[in-house]
């Protein structure tokens, strides 16, 4: 599939949004950003999702994360639709900008094109895509859902917590990890280094191979 993916630098596009025009890298400003697309304004699943994004804004702020939405509708449509989103979400305000892309050029460059869904006149629609962008303007994680499946906000927060922990320590998070659970030490860190890096200690799983590669610690 064409477009950016994990490890790629997001192009420094100039975008028109509900908060005015700006370049993406200026908005990212050496921090973390969640960039997410929705198939269309005034559609049911998208309304629930943007309302949830508004409701979770404070959780993202705690983690130093900005939000940036995108669809192919124009600014006037976005501004009208926001009223519905805020009403549905119980009054949570949509404080994040939403990009307009009526020419459907940005969705191609950001790898947010739905391969199957099209408008009645054959135009491409955005997928339900989400990129987590790191402080270096690179894609750290991507989710891609079909139009029929709404995203899980708790999983987005969990994945973000995992990325930020991995960025701070030489660790990874195991299956079903949640904050305060133990993490695993990177295989690139040998035991002697691990003892210095993790003075709180670590435990090594006893596996048939006896290779000692599965080491758990608390950070």
Per-residue pLDDT 10s for the chain (219 aa) are 357 899 999 999 999 999 999 999 999 998 999 999 999 999 999 999 999 999 999 999 999 999 999 999 999 999 999 999 999 999 999 999 999 999 999 998 998 887 777 777 777 778 899 999 999 999 999 999 888 899 999 999 999 999 999 999 989 999 999 999 999 999 999 999 999 999 999 999 999 999 999 999 999
Same domain, 141 and 205: no
211 & 134 share domain: no
Annotate 144-175 with b (16+ C-beta within 10 A) or e (fewer): bbebeeebeeeebbbbbbbbbbeeebbbebee
Asked whether residue 162 is assigned to any structural domain, the reply reads: no
Active-site hit among 46, 72, 112, 130: 46
Q: Are residues 43 and 99 in the same domain?
A: yes
State the residue range of the domain holding 78. 14-151
Residue 53 lies in a domain: yes
Q: What is the pTM of this model?
A: 0.92
Residue 170 CB contacts under 8 Å (≥ 6 apart), including other chains:
185, 186, 188, 189, 197
CATH number at residue 19: 3.40.30.10
Same domain, 183 and 145: no
Residue 188 belongs to some domain of the structure: yes
72 in catalytic set: no
Phi, psi dihedrals of residue 131, rounded to the nearest 5°: -115, 135
Q: Report yes or no on 163 lying in a domain.
A: no
Is position 76 within any domain? yes
SS3 of residue 114 by DSSP: strand
Helices (H) and strands (E) in the chain, counts: 7, 13
When divided into structural domains, the chain yields a total of: 2
Is residue 194 helix, strand or coil?
Answer: helix
């Amino acid at each position: 599939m064409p477009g950016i993916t994990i490890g790629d630098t997001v192009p420094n596009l100039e975008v028109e949004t509900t908060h005015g025009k700006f370049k993406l890298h200026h908005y990212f400003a050496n921090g973390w950003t969640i960039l997410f697309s929705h198939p269309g304004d005034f559609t049911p699943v998208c309304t629930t999702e943007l309302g949830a994004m508004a409701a979770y804004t404070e959780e993202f702020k705690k983690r130093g994360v900005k939000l940036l939405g995108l669809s192919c509708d124009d600014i006037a449509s976005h501004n009208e639709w926001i009223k519905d989103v805020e009403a549905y979400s119980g009054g949570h305000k949509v404080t994040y900008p939403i990009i307009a892309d009526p020419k459907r050029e940005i969705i191609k460059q950001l790898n947010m094109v739905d391969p199957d869904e099209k408008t009645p006149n054959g135009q491409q629609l955005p997928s339900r895509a989400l990129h987590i962008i790191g402080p270096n303007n690179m894609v750290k994680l991507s989710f891609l859902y079909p139009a029929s499946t709404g995203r899980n906000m708790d999983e987005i927060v969990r994945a973000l917590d995992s990325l930020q922990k991995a960025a701070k320590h030489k660790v990874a998070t195991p299956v079903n990890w949640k904050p305060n659970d133990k993490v695993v030490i990177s295989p690139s860190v040998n035991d002697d280094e691990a003892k210095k890096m993790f003075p709180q200690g670590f435990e090594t799983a006893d596996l048939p191979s006896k290779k000692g590669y599965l080491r758990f610690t608390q950070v």
